[in-house]
Amino acid sequence: MTSAPDESDDELLLRSQSGDEEAFLTLYRRRQAGLFRFALHMSGSMPVAEDVTQEVFLALLRGDCGYDPARGTLSGYLFGIARKLVLRHLERRRSSIALETDADDYTQPELAVIDDPLLDLTRREGIDALRRAVQALPRRYREVVVLCDLEEVDYADAAVALGCPIGTVRSRLHRARGLLLEKLHQERNTRQAPGTLKPVRCVS
Amino acid sequence: MNCQEFWNTIPELGECDESHLLECPTCAVRMMRHRELEAGFRAVAAGSRQVAAPPRVEARLRTAFRQQTGAEHHSPSRPWIPAVTWVAAFAAMFALAAFLVRTRQPEPVRPPAPRAVEMAAVQQPVDYDGFIPLPNSAGVAADEDDVNLVRVEVPRSAMIALGLDVSADRASELVEADVMLGSNGVARAVRFLE
């Protein structure tokens, strides 16, 4: 059976639960990229993102997956599963290679010096700086930025995925953006510092 | 509206009061940075738009789906496995039922031990005097021809069950008794020889 392009996620899920493979694959192709990128932005690891994406849809295959359309969209529900799986990976990694992770966060960027990363974040260097800044955010802020700002998930779905009210999503996003601006500003100052503090000889 | 009130509305996430920005250069600069940040987000999102899970994930999920729904192509022998299992289960149930029915049928009385048993009399007519009918039996059927008498040794305590007086210190002694078996092998009556 073929799937109509305008078929909703819920319809596809119903059909896939009744054994329609095409519906399941259509649903997968429609949602996998966003979930994969979310997991990638959150973990910074392609293998983890791959595992998480696969596990999300395996969870959907189970009859008692727990999805309730009355509580939100399927998209938000899938992001919620992905988030839990990513957090599990992060917890595992934190306990095993915590030092390595910390070192990654503080690696100085090998970028051409720009005057102000805030002036043009759409340049290659600016994009990299912003990506690193997002990666360095605390987890609760990183996930809301990745969901709402990078994957353009609406606040309602983000609230379902994060398991919190919409107001909390908005306040976290506000705080996260403030932290990002602050971090990018600090990065600019860090780059400017070597140029401004030139070694001088004491002649006295 | 002061600056604090302006930012409390989280203007960067929705509608903002432009009038405050016109009268406050600091907030205008801050808002401009937020707009640039949004542009940066869009650039990062556009840069990773083509990023997706590798095709092997879909292949694995397709396999998992087929295993889950049973739609996978099975080997020729596999569809028979459930049927064979059911047949075996039914056969086991029938065997168990037959065994239980057989065990409920009355079995003929077996002599306790060769040393304690000897055939007393099979010849006819039988002397039925002194026999005590056993509970749940038809009693001494005088007109029944096909009966067997079996002589056994039983503990004297067995007499208590039939209402006879037995002293406690002799309860463990053995006493000879004739047991009358009906044609179906069921004990009908007993006679103590002492």
Are A77 and A118 members of one domain? Answer: no
Full-model pTM: 0.59
The pLDDT assigned to A120 comes to 60
Residue with the larger pLDDT of the pair A195 and A143 = A143
**Sequence-separated (6 or more) residues with CB below 8 Å from residue A16:** A23, A24, A27, A60, B65
Using CA atoms, how far apart are residues A142 and A42, in angstroms rounded to an integer?
A: 7
Per-residue pLDDT averaged across A128-138, rounded? Answer: 90
Which of A37, A64, A95 lies at the terminal end of a domain, its last residue?
A: A95
Residue A201 in any domain: the answer is no
Please name the amino acid found at residue B73.
H
Q: How far is B39 from chain A (nearest CA, A)?
A: 7
Answer yes or no: is B55 within a domain: yes
Alpha helices in chain A (DSSP H): 9-17, 21-43, 46-61, 74-105, 124-136, 139-145, 155-162, 166-196
Looking at the fold, whether B1 and B66 belong to one and the same domain comes out as yes
Above 50 in pLDDT, residue A100?
A: no
Q: What is the mean pLDDT of chain B?
A: 74
Q: Look up the domain containing B8 and give its range.
A: 1-74
A chain contacts of residue B47, beta-carbon cutoff 8 Å: 127
Decide if A23 touches B, using CB distance below 8 A: no
Residue B193's pLDDT band, with cuts at 50, 70 and 90, is confident
> Same domain, yes or no, for B62 and B1?
yes
Considering CB atoms only, which of A32, A118, A174 is closest to B53?
Answer: A32
State the SS3 of B3-62: HHHHHHCCHHHCCCCHHHHHHCHHHHHHHHHHHHHHHHHHHHHHHCCCCCCCHHHHHHHH
Q: Which residues of A touch B40 (CB under 8 A)?
A: 121-122, 126-127, 130
Q: Whole-angstrom Cα distance, residue B81 to residue B84?
A: 5
Nearest to B151 by CA among B107, B111, B194: B111
| φ, ψ (nearest 5 deg) of residue B181 | -105, 135
A39 vs A79: CA distance, rounded Å: 9
* pLDDT exceeds cutoff 50 at A111: no
Q: How many domains does chain A have?
A: 2
Are A9 and A86 part of one and the same domain? yes
In a domain, A82, yes or no: yes
A24 pLDDT more than 70: yes
Residue-wise pLDDT for A29-63, tens only, equals 999 999 999 999 999 899 999 999 999 999 988 86
Kindly give the residue spans of alpha helices, DSSP state H, lying in B48-157.
Answer: 55-69, 80-104
In this structure, what CATH number is given to the domain that contains residue A160? Answer: 1.10.10.10
Domain assignment of residue A21, yes or no: yes
Q: Is residue B99 part of a domain?
A: no
Is B57 domain-assigned?
yes
User: Which B-chain residues 93-122 have CB contacts (< 8 A) with chain A?
Assistant: none
**pLDDT tops 80 at residue A108:** no
**Model pLDDT for residues B42-82, shown as the tens digit of each residue:** 998 888 888 999 999 999 999 999 888 775 444 444 555 56
Instruction: Identify whether residues A114 and A60 lie together within a single domain.
Output: no
Mutation to test the A interface, candidates B6, B9, B26, B48, most A Cβ within 10 Å: B48
In this structure, the answer to whether residues B55 and B2 fall within a common structural domain is yes
Query: Total domain count for chain B?
Result: 2
Q: A25 and B58 in contact by Cβ < 8 A?
A: yes
CB contact under 8 A, B53 and A54: yes
Q: What is the pLDDT of residue A189?
A: 76
CATH of the domain at A43: 1.10.1740.10
pLDDT at A8: 92
Q: A145-196: per-residue pLDDT in tens?
A: 999 999 999 999 999 999 999 999 999 999 999 999 999 888 777 766 655 5
Residue B57 and residue A119: Cβ atoms within 8 Å? no
% of chain A with per-residue pLDDT over 70: 76
Q: B109 and B179 in contact (C-beta within 8 Å)? A: yes
Mean pLDDT over A94-121 rounds to 45
**Is residue A159 in a domain?**
yes
In-domain check, residue B59:
yes
Answer yes or no: do A83 and A142 share one domain. no
Give the domain extent around A146: 109-193
pLDDT at position B145 is: 63
Give me the pLDDT at residue B84, please. Answer: 60
